[in-house]
Structures are given as C-alpha cells and as structure tokens.
Structure 1
Amino acid sequence: MSSKLIAPSILAADFGNLQRDVKMVNQSDADWFHIDVMDGHFVPNISYGMPVIKAIKQHATKPLDVHLMIEKPERYIEEFKNVGADIITVHYESTVHLHRTLSQIENAGCKAGVVLNLTTPVSVLEDILPKCYMVLLMSINPGFGGQKFEEMTYNRIKKLRKMIDDQGLDTLIEIDGGVTNKNAKALIDAGADVLVSGSYIFRSEDQLQTIKDLKALVNS
C-alpha cells in the first residue's frame, strides 16, 4: 500500500506570519501545501491570488496543490503554473469544457484534477477519470474554513473508489473539509489517499506534532 498523504490547508494559516507557517509545513511530516483560491463568485468568499501563492512557493520545499474555487478557471491556468502550482484542481461545476481545461493544465506542465461539490454525483466523472491525476471530493460546502464534516462523504468515497478500481486507474482521491483525527482513519479506510486539513492543524497547540500524529494515523 502506498503512503497516504497529508496536505495542510494554508487558508487556515496565520497570514501575519505566513513565512513562519510555510517553514513549519516544510519541517513537518506533511506531503503537500493545499492552496485554496476563492474568487467571491463561484464561492461566497475571497481568499488570495497569484502574489501570495508566488510568495509561498519561494519558501515551500513541498509541492503546491492548488484548488481553484473560481469561475472559468481556464482563464488563469498558465498564471497559476507560473507562480508555482504543481497540481491544479478545478471544479466540475465551474468550467463548461472540462476535458479542455484538464488538457490545459497538463500542457502547462502541472498534474490535473477535478473537484466535486457535496451534491454533485461522482458518476459524472466516469468518462473523464482516465484524464484525472486526482479527484477532490468536498466534505463541506466550499467557501469557508472550519466547517463541520459531512458524513455523506464516506459513501461518496466508496463509490468513487469503485469507479477508479473498475477502470484500473491510479487516480488519487483527496478529501477537503472538516478533517481531524476523529475521521481521518475512516476516510482512508473508505478509499481516500490524500487528506486536506486546515483549522485542525493550524489551531492546534503543537502543529508539528498534530501533523505527525495525523500522518501516522492514516498510515497505520
């Protein structure tokens, strides 16, 4: 079994001490930086854009997993690549020509993935799965950090895992929203490969230990 991955969500970091928090993730057992980009249209919040991602990349020693919660993400793929994105995921609901957008991401030299909102059936990805390095399933309604995990996620993971296995693919399943030590192992057991965790990590007293424990838990 390949190692399961932890991706701290920088949305929950202290933006007054961003370099410090990036350094903490570098030193931790985490695998990726998860970068949430919100435009105030596709989701009811605005987070950060290219300058902040560029600043993170200057100090990061681990891959940047950039999650675009924006309308018509195809307009900005090259820009996100240029500021340091290694993985770019776009919402199924945000782009009319999904295949073309994923090709854009690949052509830019990044790994391409698709995100599904809570109530979008996983079955919509059946034909596009071979083009996906990763599928991110939202386990909350996107737009704000610190929300409560939605239990329906487990069944969605199982359905998606079966689709991936039936097609003989290596597509990763990532989960974003409300991930803590209380549900992390169950998410992995259901079929997840990558867990995004924000508030749970950055609000803990010992962030390095919290990440270490989470990483050990999902690989136990």
Structure 2
Amino acid sequence: MLEIDGIDVSYGAIQVLHDVSVQVHAGEIVTLIGANGAGKSTLLMSLYGTPGVRAGRICFDGEDITHVAPHSIAKRGLAQVPEGRRIFPAMTVEENLLIGTVAIGPAHADEDRQAMFSLFPRLKERRNQRAGTMSGGEQQMLAIARALMSRPKMILLDEPSLGLAPKMIANVFAALRQIAKAGKTIFLVEQNANQALALAHRGYVLVNGRVRMEGSGAELLANEEVKKVYLGGH
C-alpha cells in the first residue's frame, strides 16, 4: 500500500534522509524506531511533501504521490496524526472530529462520530468540552479519532505516546490494536520501542537518516543491538 523507494530528503543544505526505503502492506502495522534526531518525523512529513523529496519516489495505493499536493494526498486516503497532536484547542471535541471529515465530506459524519465515541468513550464524555482543556492523553485520543473521521486507508502516527502517563500510553496502544483489528493499515513512528515493536508486524530502525535494520516486530525485539540501544539493555 505504501512504498517509499530510496528517498533523499533535506532541509536546505542539510540532508536528513539518505536512500530510505520502507514498505507497508495493506492490513499491516509497521513501526519505525530510532533515537531523537534520526529523521523519523521527517520521513512521515515527507509523505505529505514538506519537506520535499530530492531523490527517489513515494507510491501510495499504486499511485506516485512524490510531488502531489497535501490535500490531494489526504483525499487518496492517507491520514496523519502529527507529533504534538495539533488539535484545535478552542474548538469542542465534536467540532474537532468534524474537521476530520474535510477531505471526504460530511455524509458519514454522524455514523463515524458514534464509532469514535465507542472506540474512545472518554471523548463522548467530553464531546462538548473545549479540546484544549483536556489532558494530553485525551487530546491524543482526539487526534487519532479526528484522523479516522476521514475514513483513511492508512493512518500515520508520529510519537503517539510522547509525554503521556504510563496508563494513558497503555490505553492509546490498546486503541491502536482495535483500529488494526478493524482493518486499518498503520505506519507508526515511536520512541517507545518496546510498545511499538510488540504491536507491529514489522519494523525498521532508522539511524542518522538511514535504515539500519528491518525485520518482524519479534525479530527486532530479540535483536541484541536493538535491546542494548533502544530497549534499555533488557
């Protein structure tokens, strides 16, 4: 479904990604792990053209989207949950959810909103509350739900556990398992390597802008180098 083929990405004169290739098949959960500054978020942002790809290509669902405008990519069914959530704090939970339908129109908004309330009961409790007054974990749930309101074929998640309490991290990852069971394809960028690799079918390790390793989630969890560098040595 997603094929990233040998891309180079730069910020001005500074090259961040070097000949990066990643594949995500329909129905998979694939995770990308790596240290701060490895280029993980840059890779996700490059799928939407910011920053632009200097070399290589990106194909989604059989189409080359390397130089396609972001709004057109969203309409093709690629939804993003950015790092830091980026919900609209002055809007209510329900209003934020409706923003998620912009790419496809409001025809299924009521049905999908109820589905999101089933997936995240906390959002139903907070439906009329201003999003900016909720906890970080609740805002993360909202950001995921907003992305799902566009009925995407694939959802991109950038550091969904960042800054959350352990209990809320567990809740977010449990929700991701439910989303995957419902048939959504997930590409997950995450510093919490233990949680991410335990969840994923396959994973990639990004080091200084290059793919250093790849394998199944179980293989990477068992890899001695991954254990030492990303899993706290155990």
Task: Name the TM tier (shorter chain).
Answer: 0.3 to 0.5
Q: Which has the larger radius of gyration?
A: 2
- Kindly indicate which of the two structures has a greater share of residues assigned to strand: 2
Q: Which fold has the larger relative contact order, with Cα–Cα distance below 8 Å and residues 6 or more apart in sequence?
A: 2
More helix by share: 1
